[in-house]
């Protein structure tokens, strides 16, 4: 598979080319633990394959030098390979496809993620909250559902109360995604001219998106930020019912740890301005979230 790059150069979509597009980020850079010590060691390989596929696709969608058409062609090629379970010249795809034989659901969730990455390749603005929630349906929720299916499948257990558990997981994953949008709102705007925060909220407070370039405190942006965080906190509150019904102890603990991380990030975002500095957890914050998640399950 080849694409036409800038200047008319032909690029072959293989390991070497894909590797050249990567940001260098890994699971260590995420807000949440990616298969921490709480998760069964047998599952970690499948989780990491799924994660690195997502990380690779995300890096392509966010690449500053690739044109939207180039991004879409690469991501569509990824989707075609996953759909056909076709061996490629790209190792991150091959490793994921191998897991499909044991975990059929991985094919569904990885292809759903590509829906969001294709949106990232071409979409710059989100009109309102429902439109943003729909984006998160593809960008975040498949990750939680993949984790849950994987843990239950490994134990050969049926997922009782599946709809309620998935709804709780979706709320948590959506909340984490929007927290990340707040954390990175300035970087996304300056680097990619991409704004996930709903345009209807900017209109509500009579501010323009250019406010995202300004580091100093702005009372109207503070009101917008507060509105978003309040909605995220409602999502977190609504996630608890589903999380409480998870029957696999290690998975439940891991999920509660992530819930505590999300709550702590909301607290820090309320107190601090994400336009002034990157809001992230300290080591002490992380330790506290882990302990609280473990003892509260």
pLDDT 10s digits, 45-82: 888 899 999 999 999 999 999 999 999 999 999 999 99
Residue 252, both tokens: 């439940």
The answer to whether residues 135 and 126 touch, using CB atoms and an 8 Å cutoff, is yes
User: Is residue 148 located within the same domain as residue 287?
Assistant: yes
Count of structural domains, the chain: 2
Overall average pLDDT of the 90-108 stretch: 94
CA distance 75 to 268: 35
User: Is residue 152 located within the same domain as residue 105?
Assistant: no
Provide the mean pLDDT of the chain: 89
Residue 176 inside a domain? The answer is: yes
Of 122, 144, 178, which residue sits at a domain end?
122
When comparing pLDDT for 72 and 23, which is higher? 72
When comparing pLDDT for 36 and 239, which is higher? 239
pLDDT at 28: 56
How crowded is residue 248: how many other Cβ atoms within 10 Å of its Cβ?
Answer: 17
When comparing pLDDT for 46 and 12, which is higher? 46
User: Is residue 115 located within the same domain as residue 260?
Assistant: no
- CATH number of the CATH domain containing 245: 1.10.600.10
Residue 140 inside a domain? The answer is: yes
User: Is residue 88 located within the same domain as residue 70?
Assistant: yes
pLDDT at 40: 67
Overall average pLDDT of the 85-106 stretch: 92
Overall average pLDDT of the 233-248 stretch: 97
pLDDT at 181: 97
Residue 147's pLDDT band, with cuts at 50, 70 and 90, is very high
Residue 13's pLDDT band, with cuts at 50, 70 and 90, is confident
- Looking at the predicted structure, is the pLDDT value of residue 232 above 70? yes
Whole-structure pTM value: 0.90
The answer to whether residues 272 and 266 touch, using CB atoms and an 8 Å cutoff, is no
User: Is residue 230 located within the same domain as residue 250?
Assistant: yes
Q: Which domain, by its residues, includes 166?
A: 124-297
Residue 106 inside a domain? The answer is: yes
Residue of 2, 142, 127, 128 lying closest to 58 (CA atoms): 142
pLDDT at 197: 98
The answer to whether residues 243 and 252 touch, using CB atoms and an 8 Å cutoff, is yes
User: Is residue 147 located within the same domain as residue 167?
Assistant: yes
Burial class (CB in 10 A: 0-12, 13-18, 19+), 288: middle
User: Is residue 116 located within the same domain as residue 55?
Assistant: yes
Residue 30 inside a domain? The answer is: no
């Amino acid at each position: 598979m080849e694409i036409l790059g800038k200047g008319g150069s032909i690029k072959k979509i293989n390991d070497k080319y894909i590797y050249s597009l990567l940001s260098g980020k890994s699971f260590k850079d995420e807000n949440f633990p990616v298969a921490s010590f709480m998760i069964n060691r047998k599952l970690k390989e499948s989780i990491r394959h799924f994660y690195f596929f997502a990380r690779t696709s995300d890096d392509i969608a966010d690449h500053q030098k690739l044109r939207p058409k180039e991004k879409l062609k690469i991501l569509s090629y990824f989707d075609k390979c996953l759909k056909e379970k076709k061996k490629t010249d790209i190792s991150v795809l091959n490793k994921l496809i191998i897991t499909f034989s044991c975990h059929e659901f991985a094919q569904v969730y990885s292809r759903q993620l590509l829906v969001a990455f294709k949106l990232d390749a071409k979409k710059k603005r989100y009109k309102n909250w429902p439109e943003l929630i729909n984006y998160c349906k593809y960008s975040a929720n498949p990750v939680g559902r993949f984790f849950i299916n994987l843990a239950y499948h490994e134990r050969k257990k049926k997922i009782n109360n599946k709809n309620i558990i998935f709804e709780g997981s979706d709320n948590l994953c959506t909340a984490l995604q929007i927290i990340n949008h707040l954390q990175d709102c300035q970087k996304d705007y300056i680097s990619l001219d991409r704004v996930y925060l709903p345009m209807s909220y900017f209109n509500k407070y009579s501010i323009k998106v250019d406010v995202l370039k300004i580091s100093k405190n702005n009372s109207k942006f503070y009101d917008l930020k507060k509105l978003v965080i309040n909605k995220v906190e409602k999502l977190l509150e609504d996630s608890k019912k589903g999380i409480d019904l998870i029957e696999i102890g290690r998975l439940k603990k891991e999920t509660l740890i992530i819930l505590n991380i999300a709550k702590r990030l909301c607290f820090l975002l309320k107190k601090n301005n994400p336009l002034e500095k990157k809001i992230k957890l300290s080591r002490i914050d992380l330790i506290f979230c882990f302990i609280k998640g473990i003892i509260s399950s």
